[in-house]
A and B are shown apart, each in its own frame.
Chain A
Amino acid sequence: MKILIVGGGMGGTIVANNLARRIGTEVRAGKAQITMLSASDRHMYQPGLLYTSIGRLAPDELYRDQRSLLEPEIEFHVDPVETFDLDNNRVVTKSGKTHSYDQLVIATGSRAAPETIPGLAENSVNCYTEAAALEMLRQVRDFKGGTVAVVVGVPHKCPMIPLEVTFVLHDYFKDKGIADKVQFQYTYPIGRLHALAPVADWAKGEFARLGINTTTLFNMKEVDGNKIVHSEEGETVDADLLISVPPHRGMEVIEKNEMGANGFIPTDRLSLRMEGRDNVYIVGDTTNLPISKAGSTAHFEAETVAENLAALIKFGTTVRDYDGKVFCFIEAGKERATYAMFDYNNPPAPKAPNKAVHWFKMAYNQLYWASARGLL
């Protein structure tokens, strides 16, 4: 059986490694083959970008060599897919090669698309790519005082970023000794400060304590050249430094191949199969599922898909459904953190923040690499 994995980020890497451990014998006996195609020879620890944007983590510290993260049974090529020919079970890559498959996994991720809101790309900074994080660092470092506004588009990856970027910048200007010259204006698309109600309640108290102004039910419509953001709801927010969490889209290759609106592929919420396709699995940010676009989501989905692909080889059938599981760390400042864990049947109920969870989160920044290798 030929298994082809497109995308070498969090989701694709865990599928490949988890699967290689389960079917190593079959691969070595020539009965199965695992091939990964990716767009880069490097793997980025994306959460680190937030710290790059304030100068705490150098860009080279974000990366590992992708090959070094993969089990030896996995054939790896840096050659991005340009055409998905799903009717004929094959893809064509940038270099012109054709790869056929019996089972396909697509995990090409998502990207910030500030250009989809008029004026946003020109007038705001964000921490979603290395180049963007470095530009954010430049503007944050040069900022002498005024209003910092945080604006949030939907959908976006990592639901904690709107709050985290606000707390991190607040601390940054405090440490720099200019807190008294900086006002914060936090906005959020729905009628509270965060999607998760218990987190929103907690943030409300913290923001009041720190003197951070908030506007909810605020969805960006356009940004004019004076950094004034106009909302769909008819309100405006002015900024001297505009920090955005841009709306996201899936990769262009998905849009070009007409596999899903805005590059998000219609996916069955339990089987994680692409709708209408029996041998195409979708993992991570690329799904159109209404769940968090986060590394943990990609991780739990990847484990489900790897187990099912191995089961197809060993039992001739898939063996389990994805239960909607998501896990998010929530940094609460003062070296305290908590976490939220939930699935389709169990709502989140975060406990009071403590130091132990904070230190575990710090350790996770390194453990990420063990997690990508499928060891955690």
Chain B
Amino acid sequence: MSERKIIDARGTYCPGPLMELIAAMKQAEVGDELEILSTDEGSVNDVPEWINKVGHEMVGTTQEGDVWHIVVRKAK
């Protein structure tokens, strides 16, 4: 596994955190972890919804102040 890639999508609305994650996921290798930083609370639901639908793995979600750190792993 390479080092965790951070996607800083704080304060961005269009295309927004999930679309950035989808684009970054295409570039990642199976097993890579990606951490998305989002100030949009909606990401807490959006990201797992997509990750589960497509079959990747959720690693965890934490909140620091008004920033959510959502960590996922590319599974296929």
Contact = CB atoms under 8 A, between A and B. Distances in A.
Interface stretch (A134-142, A302-310, A343-351, A357-365): A343-351
Nearest to A348: B13
Interface in A94-140: none
B23 A217 contact: no
B27 A324 contact: no
Chain B contact patch, size range = 20 to 34
Contacts of A154: 15, 19, 22-23
Contact of B19 (A155, A269, A340, A342): A155
Contacts of B14: 159, 195-196, 291-292, 326, 328, 340, 342, 348
Contacts of B22: 154, 189-190, 219
A248 B26 CA distance: 13
A233 interface: yes
Contact of B27 (A159, A191, A261): A261
Interface of B: 7-20, 22-23, 26-27, 42, 46, 49-50, 53-54
Contacts of A190: 16, 18-19, 22, 46, 50
Interface string A318-355: 00000010101000000000001011110110000000
A292 to B, nearest CB: 5
A290 interface: yes
Contacts of B19: 154-155, 189-190, 195
Contact of A324 (B11, B23, B54): B11
Interface SS, B side: helix
B62 to A, nearest CB: 20
Interface of A: 154-155, 159, 189-191, 195-197, 217, 219, 232-234, 247, 261-262, 269, 289-292, 324, 326, 328, 340, 342-345, 347-348
Nearest to A293: B15
Q: Counting chain A CB atoms within 10 Å of each CB, which of B9, B13, B17 scores highest?
A: B13
Contacts of B9: 290
Q: Counting chain B CB atoms within 10 Å of each CB, which of A196, A232, A292, A342 scores highest?
A: A232
A217 B27 contact: no
Given A191-B18, A290-B17, A340-B14, 19 more contacts: A154-B15, A155-B19, A159-B15, A190-B22, A190-B46, A195-B16, A196-B14, A219-B22, A233-B54, A269-B8, A290-B9, A290-B15, A291-B14, A324-B11, A324-B12, A344-B11, A344-B12, A347-B13, A348-B13
Contacts of A247: 23, 26
Given A155-B19, A190-B16, A219-B22, A344 B10 contact: yes
A202 B17 CA distance: 21
B46 A345 contact: no
Contacts of B8: 269, 290
B56 to A, nearest CB: 10
Given A154-B23, A190-B50, A219-B54, A292 B15 contact: yes
Contacts of B23: 154-155, 247
Nearest to A235: B53
Contact of B49 (A217, A262, A340): A217
Which 3 A-B pairs have CB atoms at the shortest separation, nearest pair first? A344-B11, A290-B20, A195-B14
Nearest to B36: A290
A344 B8 CA distance: 12
